[in-house]
Amino acid sequence: MLVDDILENNRRFIREYQAQPLPPPETIPLAVVACYDPRLDALVHRALGLLPGEAFVLRTAGALVQPQGGVMRSLMLAVFMFGVRHILVVGHTSCRMAAFDTAAFIDAFRSRGVPREAFGPGDLRSWAGAIPGVREGVLLSIASIRGTPCLPRDVSVGGAILDDTSGRLEVVVQPAEPVPSPKEAVAPPAVEPPPTVEPEERPPPEAPEAKDELVQAVRTLGRILSSTKGFRPALGRVRNQLERSTNPLEHIDILEKQARAVGAESADILAAFQHLRREVAQRRGRPEWKEVIQLLRELTRP
Ligand SMILES: [Zn+2]
């Protein structure tokens, strides 16, 4: 719709509208965070039984509340300035942010002349606020809200999923309930640099099944990468770098960079990288730390 159409609509509107100032602001006890999907416009208020003006309904892609951002700012202002005491995060079943296609996003901005660098050096999926799943997205948002130091203790934070076909609301986290940790795939990658000195006290050797998990994580990634078009040839460009590196986390970074360079940025691939990175980071200072390098080299052998 063009702006001219809107202005024409508005001219028609004011002919009928009885001019009146807004009522004075009042205390509003509830804030709802829902997805910005326009298909939900008619549904959210009705499904939650809310009259217009009865709650702050904040709409944002994927209903994702990040620790720093406009939605958090609005929520905290609503808490302190308008008496919000309850916050409810509402994800919805067919949320497109849970199926965010990073490759399509990249194609879209490149084809409009915007370079990758415009989005900063960080992860594109984080930039976009892609969620690994509807339930996980709700859990992440609740964790962000409960985790902000600005949140007073007397404010409850809960979460639910709206079935956008049936209209049914399913509670994911009751306001008083602790937040279950979102499944492994959504945990942030371990980013701490490796220590430059060996720790003095070596932790006890690991149980065999724990090591199996590491091998499993390497194999899973290997399987995904071997079916990724263009990844093998791309490895040739970093072969020397991989041979020189003795830090498994650096190895993983190099592999991920190459995977991204050939557009392999699906949720599965990124989750496999994150999972492996976490498995590896846990083994810092253990004997397996060095073995991981061998496993990774096998993975990338020509
Ligand atoms: Zn959505």
pTM here is 0.61
Residue scoring higher pLDDT (290 or 111): 111
Average pLDDT over residues 57-76: 96
Average pLDDT over residues 133-155: 96
Give residue 294's pLDDT band: very low, low, confident or very high (50, 70, 90).
confident
Q: How far is ligand 1, taken at its centre, from the CA of residue 184, in Å?
A: 22
What per-residue confidence (pLDDT) applies to 183? 55
Beta carbons of 266 and 100 less than 8 angstroms apart:
no
Q: How far is ligand 1, taken at its centre, from the CA of residue 18, in Å?
A: 35
- Helix (H) or strand (E) segment spanning residue 59: strand 56-59
Q: How far is ligand 1, taken at its centre, from the CA of residue 38, in Å?
A: 9
Q: How far is ligand 1, taken at its centre, from the CA of residue 162, in Å?
A: 10
All residues at 6 or more sequence positions from 282 whose CB lies less than 8 Å from its CB, including other chains: 190
Q: How far is ligand 1, taken at its centre, from the CA of residue 164, in Å?
A: 10
All residues at 6 or more sequence positions from 146 whose CB lies less than 8 Å from its CB, including other chains: 157, 179
pLDDT score of 207 more than 80: no
What per-residue confidence (pLDDT) applies to 256? 83
Q: How far is ligand 1, taken at its centre, from the CA of residue 154, in Å?
A: 29
Give residue 182's pLDDT band: very low, low, confident or very high (50, 70, 90).
low
- The whole-angstrom separation of Cα 137 and Cα 145 is 12
Q: How far is ligand 1, taken at its centre, from the CA of residue 134, in Å?
A: 8
Q: How far is ligand 1, taken at its centre, from the CA of residue 188, in Å?
A: 22
What per-residue confidence (pLDDT) applies to 250? 82
The CA distances from residue 21 to 6, 25, 148, 174, 276, in Å, are: 22, 11, 36, 38, 58
Q: How far is ligand 1, taken at its centre, from the CA of residue 251, in Å?
A: 35
Q: How far is ligand 1, taken at its centre, from the CA of residue 147, in Å?
A: 23
| Three-state SS at 130 | coil
